[in-house]
Structure 1
Amino acid sequence: MVSSETGSSTESAAVLDRDGVRLTVDDAVATVTLTNSAKRNAQSPALWRALAEAGRLLPGTVRVVVLRGEGKSFSAGLDRQAFTPEGFDGEPSFLDMARGPEAELDATIAEYQEAFTWWRRSDIVTVAAVQGHAIGAGFQLALACDLRVVADDVQFAMRETSLGLVPDLGGTHPLVSLVGYARALEICATGRFVHADEATRTGLANLAVPGAELDAAVRDLVAAVVAAARDAVVETKALLQGAAGRSYDDQRGAERAAQGRRLRDLAGLGD
């Protein structure tokens, strides 16, 4: 029996299922699902720790990770309870954090960022399946992935400035890389919505489809990635990730080195 989520077996056991995050693994494909649809998958420090743990728990067999959200929204962003005096149970409120030592505040934000960083690992390809709202932290989580397939009802928005904050969960770098500085600044400063047509036109999304076709489109993309030779995809991803920081000549050198490794491996001369 095949799941509508990723094409994986419905019998796949959950490797992790807590704090609004569920990780399931079926051989080469893992699925990370945000499961608190009642709150439109609003995010919290507990959810961020669970996301970071999901990255640490990935078996070595995994080649592709699909990120999705249950319900009508991918993720409506940060749970506003973080800004109340009481905060979350067992957690310091953001207001209390701000009153503490600067070094502790920096370390806490760095811990939160870990939930958004592992998606760029060169040994996996990550795909966000995004429907409905992807706001603030939700937008940044979608940006953390390598690829984004969106439903035609998607609404991206970076609303941090309306709260007197900045996007601090790793989203600024990929946003600028995808759409350029001027458009990224305008999106962040105004907090406006970016819909499916603009997302595909500007490179925020690889593909936009009707909502009913989102799961099938993601399955097709995952199958195409898995069909390619794993080591070739890993080397290619690393080349592309480093391209912006290299000169043209340096990039050609990196290509030669990577191709040399691939040819030696194919000839049975690898390490």
Structure 2
Amino acid sequence: MATPDQELVPLLDQDGVRLTVDDALATVTLTNPAKRNAQSPAMWRALAEAGRLLPGSVRVVVLRGEGKSFSAGLDRQMFTPEGIEGEPSFIDLARSGDAELDAAIAGFQEGFTWWRRNDVVTVAAVQGHAIGAGFQLALACDLRVVADDVQFAMRETGLGLVPDLTGTHPLVSLVGYGRAVEICLTGRFVGAQEAVNSGLANLAVPAAELDAAARDLATALLAAPREAVIETKALLRGAPDRDYDGQRAAERAAQGRRLRDLAGLGE
């Protein structure tokens, strides 16, 4: 099957990340299947750049990985004393000052943060292994469609680390504290059926149908008026931080804006 972005001219194609845009739909593809789309600081910078390059016309972004695995996590070279050429090793990071270390990790996180922007809806199409950083990248998206061979796992704790690429907040929000603790501390695999049953995934399909299912979902998401989608996503994202009356007030304010806009009375 042809990949969704095969015939489009990329806006970005570097360091294992390709960005293509087809009108209101953008596709971000991880393009290093030989290494199971293992992640590195260079890939994280490219992911952040993809977010900056998104045209204002884009409403839905599909994230996918080439090959048998979505992303098998961190490039193992990052765990070696020499690290990756041109990048600080973990030992180098550990020796830096508090502010420098914090800034370095914040820079890594930038490739994972823009996916939850209110002006786009993001869909991860996940097959095979999605481990550690790969799991967290899938969690960065609003929605997840998974192949029936998907294997999620959070392995950082077993390596003496913590999940630090923005994955802990959505994981707890999706599956609850108790299950999130168990998934992270045991590092076990979560398959397709459990992912759907627990709320990690919205839909599971045969692997051969994954790209088509993600495109179908993207098409459905594009059907509603853009401003209504933006307001609704903002309401839902903000709901956990508001009490019941605060959420009611936010609904009233959002609906007031929509009604005035539909009546031609908006700013």
**TM-score, with normalisation over the residues of structure 2?**
0.98
What percentage of residue pairs aligned between the two structures are identical?
A: 79
SS at structure 2 position matched to 1:23: strand
Q: Deviations over 1:81-110 (max 9, x none)?
A: 011121111111111111121211111000
Structure 1 residue 216, shift from structure 2 partner = 1.2
Question: In the alignment, what sits opposite 1:191?
Answer: 187
Question: In the alignment, what sits opposite 2:209?
Answer: 213
Instruction: Name the stretch that deviates more: 189-198 or 212-221.
Output: 212-221
SS at structure 2 position matched to 1:197: helix
Question: In the alignment, what sits opposite 1:169?
Answer: 165
What is the distance in 1 between the residues matched to 2:167 and 2:262?
37
Q: Is the 8 A contact 1:4 1:216 kept in 2?
A: no
Structure 1 residue 19, shift from structure 2 partner = 0.3
Structure 1 residue 4, shift from structure 2 partner = 4.3
What is the distance in 1 between the residues matched to 2:208 and 2:107?
36
Instruction: Name the stretch that deviates more: 130-139 or 211-220.
Output: 211-220
Question: In the alignment, what sits opposite 1:72?
Answer: 68
Whether 1:115 aligns to 2:101 is no
What is the distance in 1 between the residues matched to 2:46 and 2:190?
28
SS at structure 1 position matched to 2:264: coil
Q: Is the 8 A contact 1:4 1:215 kept in 2?
A: no
AA in 1 matched with 2:53: L
**Matches of residues 90-129 of structure 1 in structure 2 within 5 Å?**
90-129=86-125
For structure 2, the 5+ residue unaligned runs are none
What is the distance in 1 between the residues matched to 2:13 and 2:153?
28
SS at structure 2 position matched to 1:222: helix
Whether 1:20 aligns to 2:16 is yes
What is the distance in 1 between the residues matched to 2:220 and 2:262?
21
Decide whether aligned partners of structure 1 residues 5 and 63 sit closer, same or farther in structure 2, where only a CA change above 3 A counts: farther
What is the distance in 1 between the residues matched to 2:240 and 2:125?
26
Q: Is the 8 A contact 1:68 1:74 kept in 2?
A: yes
Q: Deviations over 1:237-257 (max 9, x none)?
A: 000000011011110110011
Question: In the alignment, what sits opposite 1:47?
Answer: 43
**Alpha-carbon RMSD:** 1.0
What is the distance in 1 between the residues matched to 2:88 and 2:214?
38
* Corresponding residue pairs, total: 267
Whether 1:153 aligns to 2:149 is yes
Q: Deviations over 1:52-71 (max 9, x none)?
A: 00000000000000000000
What is the distance in 2 between the residues matched to 1:100 and 1:258?
45
AA in 2 matched with 1:109: I
Correspondent of 1:59 among 39, 55, 69: 55
Correspondent of 2:176 among 180, 183, 203: 180
AA in 2 matched with 1:198: E
Whether 1:87 aligns to 2:83 is yes
AA in 1 matched with 2:177: Y
Question: In the alignment, what sits opposite 1:247?
Answer: 243
What is the distance in 2 between the residues matched to 1:187 and 1:180?
11
What is the distance in 2 between the residues matched to 1:20 and 1:53?
12
Structure 1 residue 11, shift from structure 2 partner = 3.4
